[in-house]
């Protein structure tokens, strides 16, 4: 099939970008979306043009590197799918496809479709961990964890840190990302000791890094390739209130 692509091109961090039009010809329905872009790039190189820069790595939907807004939806039209797992059979011959980078103040564009997402690492650095030293820990079965809590922790911990939630959020908020980590750790006895401190410094770090606030549009959940749920945001809010109530008592 043949497609018309409108792709965001931007030379660098401080330059202005624009949507450029490209024709993708003879695209197989078997291709993944990124393979389609590979093909376009091969043609661009052969025609002495600069290929389109885009982030990608594992191409099996787990590393969280790929990050494109396709026709207005982060990771494209298929639910719970990363761009790398999206296949061309979901498009039709003659389609126009708009491909843009993640957009948020906290994710400045580096080049074309590549953004700087180190702000998410900063949130984790603030407190997204259990402060345990290597070695000197109790036996793994010494502290029992109910299956229910372990499952909730796992549900939350499936986050791949791609940033689609931020890209989808009209407020550029990283609330779902932060809430997933808060929920993961607060669901485990090991993580509860630091829970109050953690929720305060992580939400603070979120705002410090230029992310917006949550106003409950729930776009994040719809865009999340791993199905991380907004109920974790309620959990974060609960933990936050608990921390402040405890503080003031």
Partner 1 sequence: MAVTGQILVLFIIIHMIGNSAIYSGGLNAYADRLHSLPLLVWIFRLVMLTMFSLHIVFGIGLYLENRKAKPDEYAIRKDMRATFASKNMVWTGLLTGVFLVYHLLHFTIQIIHPESAALSNSDASGLPDVSGMVVQSFQDAGVSAVYVFAVTALFLHLSHGIQSSFQSTGISSERTLPVIIKTGAITALVLFLGYVSIPVLIYIGLVKG
Partner 2 sequence: MLLDGKCPSGPLSEKWERHRQNLKLVNPANKRKYTILVVGTGLAGASAAATLGELGYNVEAFCYQDSPRRGHSIAAQGGINAAKNYPNDGDSIFRLFYDTIKGGDFRAREANVYRLAMLSNNIIDQCVAQGVPFARDYAGYLDNRSFGGAQVSRTFYARGQTGQQLLLGAYAALMRQVKAGTVRLHPRSEMLDVVIIDGEAKGITVRDMVTGHVGSYAGDAVCLCTGGYANVFYLSTNAMGSNVTAAYRAYKKGAFFANPCYTQIHPTCIPVSGEHQSKLTLMSESLRNDGRVWVPKMNGDKRTPNEIPHAERDYFLERKYPGFGNLAPRDIASRSAKEVCDEGRGTGSSGFGVYLDFEDAIKRLGESVIRERYGNLFEMYDRITGEDAYKQPMRIYPAPHYTMGGLWVDYNLQSNVPGLFVLGEANFSDHGANRLGASALMQGLADGYFVIPYTIAGYLAQAVPGRVTAAHPAFIKSIEDVNSLTKKLLSINGKKTVNDFHRELGRIMWEHVGMARSEEGLKRALKLIPELRSEFWQNVKVPGSSENLNQELEKAGRVADFLEFGELMARDALNREESCGGHFRVEHQMPDGEAKRDDKNYCYVAAWEFKGLNYEPDMHKEPLTFENVALAVRSYK
Residues in contact with partner 1 by CB under 8 A are 6, 19, 69, 71-73, 98, 100, 103-106, 168-173, 207, 210-219, 221-223, 229-231, 233-241
Nearer Cβ to partner 2, position 140 or 249? 140
| Least distance (Å) between residue 174 CB and partner 2 | 14
Instruction: Choose among partner 1, partner 2, none what residue 75 binds, the Cβ cut-off being 5 to 8 Å by kind.
Output: none
Q: Residue 98 and residue 74: Cα distance in Å, rounded?
A: 11
Instruction: Choose among partner 2, partner 1, none what residue 249 binds, the Cβ cut-off being 5 to 8 Å by kind.
Output: none
**CA Rg, the chain, in Å?**
20
| Least distance (Å) between residue 141 CB and partner 2 | 6
Contact (Cβ atoms closer than 8 angstroms) between residue 135 and residue 43:
no
Instruction: Choose among partner 2, partner 1, none what residue 228 binds, the Cβ cut-off being 5 to 8 Å by kind.
Output: none
| Least distance (Å) between residue 72 CB and partner 2 | 21
| Least distance (Å) between residue 119 CB and partner 1 | 11
- What is the sign of the dihedral through the CA atoms of 80, 82, 88 and 94? positive
The DSSP code sequence of 12-29 is STTS--EEEEEEE-S--T
Contact (Cβ atoms closer than 8 angstroms) between residue 24 and residue 33:
no
| Range 104-120 burial, b when 16+ CB lie within 10 A, else e | bebbbbbbbbbbebebb
Nearer Cβ to partner 2, position 150 or 207? 150
Instruction: Choose among partner 1, partner 2, none what residue 65 binds, the Cβ cut-off being 5 to 8 Å by kind.
Output: partner 2
Beta strand pairing status for 96-100 and 114-115? unpaired
Instruction: Choose among partner 2, partner 1, none what residue 9 binds, the Cβ cut-off being 5 to 8 Å by kind.
Output: none
């Amino acid at each position: 099939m043949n497609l018309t692509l409108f792709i965001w091109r931007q030379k660098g961090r401080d330059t202005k970008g624009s949507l450029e039009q490209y024709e993708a010809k003879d695209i197989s329905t078997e291709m993944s979306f990124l393979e389609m872009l590979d093909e376009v790039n091969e043609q661009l190189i052969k025609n002495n043009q600069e290929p389109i820069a885009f982030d990608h790595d594992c191409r099996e939907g787990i590393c969280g590197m790929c990050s494109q807004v396709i026709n207005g939806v982060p990771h494209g039209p298929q639910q719970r799918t990363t761009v790398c797992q999206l296949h061309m059979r979901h498009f039709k011959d003659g389609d126009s496809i708009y491909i843009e980078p993640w957009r948020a103040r906290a994710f400045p564009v580096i080049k074309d479709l590549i953004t700087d997402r180190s702000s998410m690492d900063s949130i984790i650095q603030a407190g997204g961990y259990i402060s345990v030293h290597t070695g000197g820990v109790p036996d793994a079965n010494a502290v029992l964890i109910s299956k229910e809590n372990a499952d909730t922790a796992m549900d939350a911990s499936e986050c791949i840190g791609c940033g689609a939630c931020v890209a989808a959020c009209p407020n550029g908020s990283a609330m779902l990302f932060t809430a997933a980590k808060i929920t993961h750790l607060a669901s485990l006895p090991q993580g509860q000791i630091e829970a109050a401190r953690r929720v305060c410094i992580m939400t603070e770090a979120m705002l410090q890094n230029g992310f917006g606030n949550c106003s409950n549009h729930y776009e994040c959940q719809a865009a999340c390739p791993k199905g991380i749920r907004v109920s974790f945001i309620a959990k974060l809010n609960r933990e936050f209130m608990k921390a402040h109530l405890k503080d003031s008592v």
